[in-house]
Amino acid sequence: MEKIKTEQLKPTLTKEDFISDQMVKWCPGCGDHAILSAFQKVLPQVGVKKEDVVVVSGIGCSSRFPYYVKSYGFHGIHGRAAALASGIKISNPELMVWMITGDGDSLAIGGNHFIHLLRRNLDINVMLFNNKIYGLTKGQFSPTTPTGHRTKSSPQGTIEHPFNVGELAIGAQGTFFARAVDTNPKMMAEIMLEASRHSGTSLIEIMQNCVIFNDKIHAEFTSRETRDDSQIYLEHGKPMLFGKENDKGIVLRGTRLEVVKLGQEGITIDDILVHDKYQWESGIHVLLATMEPPEYPIAVGVIRSISDFTFDGKMEAIIKEEKEKGKIKCVDDLLNSGKTWEI
Amino acid sequence: MTSKAQKVVELEHVVVRFAGDSGDGMQLTGSLFSDAAAIAGNDFATFPDYPAEIRAPQGTVAGVSGFQIHFGHKEIHTSGDMADVLVAMNPAPLKKNLMWVKPGGTIIVDNDTFIDKQLEKAGYSNNPLEDESLRDYNVIQAPVSTLTKTSVEDLGLDNKMVLKSRNMFALGIMFFIFNRKLSSADEFFEQKFRANPLVVESNKRILRAGYNYAESIEALSSITYKVEPAKLQKGIYRNITGNIATAWGFLAAAEKSGRQLFLGSYPITPASEILQELSKHKSLGVKVLQAEDEIAGIVSTIGASFAGSFAITTTSGPGLSLKSEAIGLAVMTELPIVIVDVQRAGPSTGMPTKSEQSDLMQALYGRNGEAPCIVIAASSSANCFYYAFEASKLAMEHMTPVILLTDGYLANGSEVFKIPKMSDLVEIKPPLAEANDPEYFPYKRDPERLNRKWAVPGTEGLRHRIGGLEKEDIYGHVSHDPENHQIMSEYRYEKVQRVAKYVEPQKVYGPEEGELLVVSWGGTYGVMMEAVQELHKQGKSVSLAHFHYINPLPRNTEEIFSKFKRIIVPELNMGQFVLHLRMHFQKFNFEQYNKVQGLPFMVKELVDKFNQMLEGK
């Protein structure tokens, strides 16, 4: 799809063009409000006509999203947003499809569809709201809830290993993985715009706060007091620096990443890893995606963005080729093909 | 020897069964024999019978592969009950198939294979050719293996390879017995092995060796059979299986409606051929997603339908179970999709390669909530084409999911199909919403059919949201209003019921009133028809109402039932259609006749049953 018409279309559309007439019913203080607002701001910039935008979701708090966006929208059934989005995109690749989902929707009940969407690399933009809890069913643990975390269905603490979304996505051949936090609308918007321009499945994990059932689950890397030392914004081509004084950095020692301080033990800026989101080999990207406090800062920004063929692109190409060279041009041809006889 | 007097017996119809190991090429032999029947102008129906295992142990009963063809001068409706002629390439196929040979029927065996090791593998303690166990049959022992080798020994081919063509020797024998021309098989060899002229030569010679052998053996040559051409309508014909016919019906519907065809499907026996067939036809613009599971199969279909494709999904019983929730989503969003269930014997994994009619209740009611669907059923391999087309038309014109039921017998069986012209098929006019229509609302309905409009993403001025939550009448916003839910539930029910106004009324074969009405549905049509025709020949009064429309039932159903003293409902299940009928028509007494063996009804058992009823039992 052509995604470079931004400049021509930008003046004609505004955020208001994408606000539906429905009352937003998320809890006050929910992180979803900020995500919705950032998304509505981005849509006028993505370079497609407003009727070519389709927003698809599964089930969960996040999945009410399509009702609030004035576009073509489909609120599906639990876990199946990826399959729904796939059918839409394959059917009409001219559409820009956004899939809104959550940690329960895509990593538990919809895990199968989620990994296969990534593997097929359909040109779909996915926003996975990760609040590490089931909100709509009122507080059971999810596949991303940290081990030992006490919830309504894990009163003694969970006894499961959580998924890391980036590691799972890259393992499933995902070509684009980014992470954002719901407290930084500007960064969210930038990442959404970049995701919309990536050809292939673009996955954005948005660390989103559930104010009712899992409040402050992301506080360590989102709160004003601690975030500078526990969050690193990765930018392509730039050294991986973070911290209040921007003097901490990431280096590769052996096969592990390590956090170092500039000036200590002779560390200079030249020792710090430079982010390459286009690197085909996924090793460093996985290491970056799996960094967690307290040992590491959590990585935000576009971690991986590689170029590979898409399912929908190949499908269109095959159909075009077959239509040109195939002998069967219409159903009458088909019915009369092969062995027939006359009576 | 050609001077010998030859008797040619004319037959109305014949059933031939070819049986061998799964590597013996029985399906090919059968299909070449079918081609010859086609050229001779016979009507016919075929059915392959192969093991569920891909390569079951050679030489054992489990590994036997069979192919049955029923051909005739009369109209043929089934692949036949019992065989008049069995060709058994080894001991195991004989053991497995003897029960399907008519008493007095002909059995042709390759006696070179009736050796100790093979007999033992087949589970014979005695050689059946040497004891009395086959005395009721006309057994022809032919040294097929030996003569196959001899016929091509000067070509210098590898012995193992030559023996693979043993089936062509057997085919040659059958061609002689039934006075067939060799040309169609020759053409096949020339086409198939064009890269290897030696193999063409070898196959042609082996075929002729079989033909000449039959002519020279008195047991075979003294009587040959002739089956006159059937009185078929003028036209162009082809042989077609139910699964291929189903796939083509959808292609035809897509072309007629001007919509792109989308298939989302997960492989499952016995439905996978539809997926494979549609995957071949990308030149017609078909888009196929082989999904990661049954759920993704249907949900991608719903997505494609939302995006404006005519979208279908194909499966069998276990897959239909997995699709239940999503069918509800299609009911709620009122999008056109077709779900094909090629039924097989259940429950659970059941008997995947065996046929049954036991998914009817699941198709009608297997969903949460009040979720009515149109349910229709094909009744022959060839009319799968027309019912796939009809399912598509109903789905698109009434904006609703349609479940199309076929079964393993229809799907894998084949019959003669009169090729239609696309221009002769009826139009399909989906209710597409026009760009910038100020009157458009997502759940505003057509006053007659009650369908909503199909507003396709990408169309200017129609942006809207739908989903699985209950929708407000007309406007389509999420609604939990009690009265609105009542109204919407009634609309969804009534929309499906009104379909009865738009489909053909039910037909009755035979007298319109009388003692006994046979009521059947789906894949049992052929055998019901043959049974009723047999009774008519015996001068009995019995009628047949074979249903294709299950939900809604045809509008004249009650009127038909009211004209008969007794009604019998034979089904290949424990009594599902009969329950449906009892629910709708409580004043009639429906009697049942049920069979769940993974086998079709036999004409004979039905004739016996109906005769008993006519005698007042």
Q: Is A31 left (phi over 0), alpha (psi -120 to 50) or beta?
A: alpha
Is A74 in Cβ contact with B285 (below 8 Å)?
no
Domain count within chain A: 1
Task: Please report which helix (H) or strand (E) contains residue B17, including its range.
Answer: strand B13-21
Cα dist. B220→B126, B140, B173 in Å? 26, 8, 9
Are residues B253 and B161 both part of a single domain? no
CATH code for the domain in which residue B213 is found: 3.40.920.10
CATH code for the domain in which residue A124 is found: 3.40.50.970
Are residues B176 and B206 both part of a single domain? yes
Q: Does A20 touch chain B (CB under 8 A)?
A: yes
CATH code for the domain in which residue B591 is found: 3.40.50.920
Q: Which of A56, A72, A320, A323 to substitute to test the interface with B, most B CBs within 10 Å?
A: A72
Q: How confident is the model over B30-52, as pLDDT tens digits?
A: 999 999 999 999 999 999 887 66
A158 domain-assigned: yes
Is B236 in Cβ contact with A116 (below 8 Å)?
no
Residue A301 three-state SS: strand
Q: Where are any strands of DSSP class E within chain A?
A: 53-57, 72-75, 96-102, 124-130, 176-181, 202-207, 231-234, 241-242, 248-253, 256-261, 298-305, 341-342
- Residue among A74, A91, A325 minimizing CB distance to B466: A74
Whole-number Å distance between alpha carbons of A206 and A65:
14
State the complex-level ipTM.
0.96
- Residue among B38, B301, B458 minimizing CB distance to A95: B458
So what's the pLDDT on residue B258? 98
Q: Does A51 touch chain B (CB under 8 A)?
A: yes
So what's the pLDDT on residue B408? 96
Q: How confident is the model over B142-198, as pLDDT tens digits?
A: 999 999 999 999 998 998 889 999 999 999 999 999 999 999 999 999 999 999 999
B470 domain-assigned: no
Task: Please report which helix (H) or strand (E) contains residue B567, including its range.
Answer: strand B564-571
- Token match 């799972």: residue? A168
So what's the pLDDT on residue B7? 76
Who wins on pLDDT, B58 or A320? A320
What strand order describes the sheet that includes B236-241? A341-342, B236-241, B414-418, B43-49, B64-72, B13-21, B83-88, B101-110, B138-142
**pLDDT exceeds 90 at position B210:** yes
Are residues B56 and B116 both part of a single domain? yes
pLDDT band at B2 (very low <50, low <70, confident <90, very high): very low
So what's the pLDDT on residue A1? 42
DSSP string over B75-139 = ---SS-SSEEEEEESSHHHHHHHGGGEEEEEEEEEEGGG-SHHHHHHHT-SS-TTTSSTTTTSEE
Are residues B179 and B295 both part of a single domain? no
| Beta strand pairing call for A231-234 and B7-10 | unpaired
Q: Where are any strands of DSSP class E within B267-336?
A: 287-290, 310-315
So what's the pLDDT on residue B175? 96
Query: How does the average pLDDT of chain B come out, rounded?
Result: 95
- Residue among A22, A54, A341 minimizing CB distance to B38: A341
Whole-number Å distance between alpha carbons of A115 and B407:
33
Q: Which domain holds residue B100?
A: 7-226
A193 domain-assigned: yes
The whole-number average pLDDT for the span B502-512 is 98
The whole-number average pLDDT for the span B374-389 is 98
- Residue among B252, B458, B465 minimizing CB distance to A75: B465
Is A335 in Cβ contact with B293 (below 8 Å)?
no
Are residues B208 and B341 both part of a single domain? no
- Residue ranges in chain A whose pLDDT is less than 70: 1-11
B407 domain-assigned: yes
Q: Which domain holds residue A131?
A: 6-217+309-317
So what's the pLDDT on residue B1? 38
So what's the pLDDT on residue B220? 78
Biggest CA–CA distance in chain B, Å, is 91
Q: How confident is the model over B72-88, as pLDDT tens digits?
A: 999 999 999 999 999 99
- Residue among B281, B289, B463 minimizing CB distance to A334: B281
So what's the pLDDT on residue B45? 96
Domain count within chain B: 3
pLDDT band at B54 (very low <50, low <70, confident <90, very high): low
Is A88 in Cβ contact with B457 (below 8 Å)?
yes
**pLDDT exceeds 80 at position B223:** no
Q: Does A66 touch chain B (CB under 8 A)?
A: yes
Is B461 in Cβ contact with A67 (below 8 Å)?
no
So what's the pLDDT on residue B540? 96
| Interchain CB contacts (distance < 8 Å): A and B | 197
Are residues B183 and B322 both part of a single domain? no
What strand order describes the sheet that includes B542-547? B542-547, B514-521, B564-571, B590-594
What DSSP state is assigned to residue B399? T
Q: Does A317 touch chain B (CB under 8 A)?
A: no
Question: Quick one: which of B555, B551, B570, B584 has its CA closest to B366?
Answer: B551
Residue A324 three-state SS: helix
